[in-house]
Structure 1
Amino acid sequence: MYMLPGKEQTPKSCTCNRHLSRNRRRSKNAGETSKEPVNVAPKEPIFTCPVCWNKLDEPATTMCGHIFCTNCIKQAIQFQKKCPTCRKHLKMNNFHRIYLPNTSR
Structure 2
Amino acid sequence: MNAGIVLIVVGLVVLGAANAGWWWLRGRSLRERVTSLTGQLATAMRNAFRLSGHVSELEAENASLKARNEMLAGLVGADAERAALQGSCADEARWL
In proportion to residue count, which structure has more helix?
Answer: 2
Output the TM-score relative to the length of structure 2.
0.19
TM-score normalised by structure 1 residue count: 0.18
Greater Rg, structure 1 or structure 2? 2
Q: Which is richer in strand? A: 1
